[in-house]
Structure formats: C-alpha cells, structure tokens
A and B are shown apart, each in its own frame.
Chain A
Amino acid sequence: NAGVTQTPKFRVLKTGQSMTLLCAQDMNHEYMYWYRQDPGMGLRLIHYSVGEGTTAKGEVPDGYNVSRLKKQNFLLGLESAAPSQTSVYFCASSYLDSGLPEAFFGQGTRLTVV
C-alpha cells in the first residue's frame, strides 16, 4: 500500500523554467492538498481539491496552478519558476468522511530555483 507518492523527490530549476509536481494517492481519498514548507513558517496551503475536476485556492496560490483530472492524482504546476518558490512541497490527502479526519502526507519534494 503506497499511500501518497510524490514525484520527483528533488529538483533544481533555473529561474523562468516550468515544471509539474505529481501527487498520486491510492486510498480513494476525496480531498487532496498541496503545501509548501519554509523555515519558521510551518506548512502553508497552496491549493486544494475536494474532488475530481474541482480545485480551490489556499493561503499562498500565486505563481502556482493545479489540476485534478483523475481522483487519485493532483498536479502542481509552476509556469515560470522564481527563487521565492524554493521550498519543500508536500502533497496530502484525506477522506470526506470525518470519521477519519487526518491527512496523509507524501514524502515531500525539495525544489531549488536558481
């Protein structure tokens, strides 16, 4: 049982380049989230999705786009990377049913923009 898998684990980008981070979950979760983690700031929500074909903005959405074409996948895109987007990115997922409310996390992606 893989849980939540993020691809890639590490990436170095040049300013202005684009890339897509992939998140895949095999738990049939309805909710999926993308967070970024920066020192001293905890995890901040970028975008989230309540189901296939739906997305919404979180706390820090600027410079990012997302898509959820399939229930099990949630993609995070950077169209024109900036050094301020250097961070560790986490994907998470959770059930709609509040009987099991906790989110399950991927292992993170360390992105450096130079």
Chain B
Amino acid sequence: AQTVTQSQPEMSVQEAETVTLSCTYDTSESDYYLFWYKQPPSRQMILVIRQEAYKQQNATENRFSVNFQKAAKSFSLKISDSQLGDAAMYFCAYRFPGIQGAQKLVFGQGTRLTINP
C-alpha cells in the first residue's frame, strides 16, 4: 500500500530564515502527483505546491520550493525567508490511482511549523 511519512512532528525556525520539511513516500507507480498542503489554525487546507512525477524540474511557488528525488522517493519542502504567517501544520500528500481510476489522496502525519520572531 502507498504510504507517506513525515518524520518531523514539529519544526521551528527564526523569522526570515530558511527551513526544510521532509517527506518520503512508498509507491510502485511511475506516474503520480505530490503535494504540500498548509493547515493554519483556521483549519482550512490550503494547497502550497504540487509536483508531477514525470517532471524532473523541481516545482517553485514564490518562497516555497521542493526537492523532488524520485529514485529516493523523497519530496521535501523548503520555505525561504520564513514569515510569521507561515506558522501552520504542513501535510505532504501523494495522489495515486484507485478503483475506476479514482485519484485518491494519501496524507502524511503532518509537521507543525513554528516561526520564532
């Protein structure tokens, strides 16, 4: 079964510095999507960034970028110039095919990120 593992339950970083959140996954598929979602205290799930497995280039969205290592099944999120508003729970997620082609999303356990002013 496909699994997603986030080995860092909590991380903290000083404001304006850079932090990297780790994620590994297990799959036998060759084509899939990977995502990072942010969940602030409001509880809303917000998409941060997505990566398509068949693209070798790492995705980037402003201060957020990923390091996608397909062979190692690793998908880390780097946040540059951390801001107080980045404080949240971050979830790594993998999308894989299911019954009738359904694209199920599987989530990691989450990493709680604290930003220190």
**Contact surface of A with B, Cβ cutoff 8 Å:** 31, 33, 35, 40-45, 48-50, 54, 56, 58, 88, 90, 92, 94, 96, 98, 101-103, 105, 107-108
Contact = CB atoms under 8 A, between A and B. Distances in A.
A68 B112 CA distance: 34
B104 A48 contact: yes
Contacts, number: 63
B105 A33 contact: yes
A50 B91 CA distance: 23
A105 B44 contact: yes
A33 B107 CA distance: 13
Contacts of B99: 50, 56
B71 interface: no
Interface in B58-117: 91, 95, 98-110
Contact of B102 (A44, A56, A88, A92): A56
Interface residues of B, number: 27
Nearest to B101: A50
Nearest to A100: B50
Contacts of B91: 42-43
A95 B53 CA distance: 18
Contacts of A45: 104-106
B98 to A, nearest CB: 7
Q: Would you list the 8 A-B pairs with minimal beta carbon distance, nearest first? A: A105-B45, A42-B107, A43-B107, A50-B102, A42-B109, A101-B33, A108-B43, A50-B100
